[in-house]
Structure formats: structure tokens, C-alpha cells
A and B are shown apart, each in its own frame.
Chain A
Amino acid sequence: QVHLVQSGTEVKEPGSSVTVSCKASGGTFNNYALTWVRQAPGQGLEWMGRVIPILDVANYALKFQGRITITADKSTNTAYMKLRGLRSDDTAVYYCTRGGDYNVLTGYLQEYIWFDPWGQGTLVTVSS
């Protein structure tokens, strides 16, 4: 049973960067896509990107390209999401979630992708 625990609340100034961590326990960390989703206050959910640890490959939503880096440390089963050039509209709760298993024999992620389980969320507030 996979369990995801995220780092704590952050308060950042505009223009700075934030790194949120997500530590996984249970399951085979290397073989699933660790995904980041955010939710601005009172708003809906937004997919930001994902990393597949065994491949050390990440891909991102176009909206965040150039500002985001998602990495994974296989030795500690921890994923990281770094967002640079923070603006006030980056104020949100950031979630990590498992988003599909990677099959090392076929070289593909599972065909149907869903997000489960989720971390508890990390509130990032961007304010001067």
C-alpha cells in the first residue's frame, strides 16, 4: 500500500523559488509516475507534471515549462517539485499523487492513468 507524505507549509516572496518534497512508502517507487497537481484557493485541480523515477524522465504541462523541475531520489523514495519565479497566482495547495505504473518489460506506462493515492497537500503562499 503506497503512502505519500509531503513537506510542510511554505511562505515565499514573489520571484523566489519553492521546493516541495513527497516521500513515498510502500509499493515500488521506481516504477510508478509520481505526479504533481495543484489547487488554488477555492479553485479546481491542475495537473503540473510527473516524473518516472526508474527512467529519470519528467514531463510537464506547457503552462509550467521553463519554471518547473520535478525530480526523484530513488535512494530515499522521495520526489521533489521545484517551481521558480513565483507569482501571487502560484498560491495554492500542491499535491503529489501516484499516476500510473511503468512496465519495465514493455517500456510503457499503464494504459489507463488515474491518481491514487494522494499526499496530504502542501500550502504554498506567495506574498510580499
Chain B
Amino acid sequence: DIQMTQSPSSLSASVGDRVTITCRASQNITNYLNWYQQRPGKAPKLLIYAASSLQSGLPSRFSGGGSGTDLTLTISSLQPEDFATYYCQQSYSTPYTFGQGTKLEI
């Protein structure tokens, strides 16, 4: 199975900050990588697919980058509603695996 490791596991930030979350894969996954946001008690929500494509209807402050084994999610200017947990997920091969999550806190 491909192991996905996110860093950091938690992150304190303020409204307006720029933050970057990194996802490291245990093998080359090229750009088969998705990012999700999950708020407490809610289902995950797709943010970014295929490493860098923004899901329709979402604000452009979310962006994804990278390729290979190191991929990133960047939020350019944090808004109050962005404080949540973020997960990466590889779709290179089954079983599709997720990172352990990054909790973004004020």
C-alpha cells in the first residue's frame, strides 16, 4: 500500500495568513493526488483533484502543487471558514490511501 504522510499534523494560523500543507507519498504518484477539507461532524469535501485542479465553485485562494512524492496544498489568505482538518488522498493505485490529516486551528 502507498503510505501518505502529511505535515504538519496541526497548524496554528490567523485570518489572512498564507499556509502550506505538505503530503509525502511513499512512492512516486505523479499527480494522482486529491485534497479534502473536513469540518467537525461533516463529511469531507473535495477541494483539489489531480494535484492542481480546483473543484468547481471553490475560491481561488486554494491551490495545489507538486508532483512525484511531494505535493502541497496552499491557502493564500485564510478565512474564518477555512479552519478545519485537511486530508490528502492518492488515487495512483488501490487501496486508495489518505494522509493522517492536518488540523488547521486559529
Which residues of A line the B interface, CB within 8 A? 44-47, 59, 61-63, 95, 97, 99, 112-121
Contacts and interface: CB of A to CB of B under 8 A. Distances in A.
A10 B31 CA distance: 38
A118 B36 CA distance: 11
Contacts of A95: 43-44
A114 B46 contact: yes
A98 to B, nearest CB: 10
B98 A47 contact: yes
A47 B101 CA distance: 14
Nearest to B99: A44
Interface stretch (B11-19, B76-84, B89-97): B89-97
B75 interface: no
6 contacts: A44-B99, A45-B87, A95-B43, A112-B49, A113-B96, A115-B34
B34 A47 contact: no
A99 B44 CA distance: 13
Instruction: Return the 6 tightest CB-CB contacts between A and B, nearest first.
Output: A118-B43, A116-B46, A113-B91, A114-B49, A61-B95, A45-B98
A103 B96 CA distance: 20
Contacts of B98: 44-47
Contact of B101 (A44, A59, A97, A121): A44
B5 to A, nearest CB: 11
Nearest to A120: B43
Interface centre among B43, B44, B50, B95 (most CB of A within 10 A): B43
A115 B94 contact: no
B102 to A, nearest CB: 10
Nearest to B46: A116
B100 interface: yes
Contacts of B44: 45, 95, 115, 118
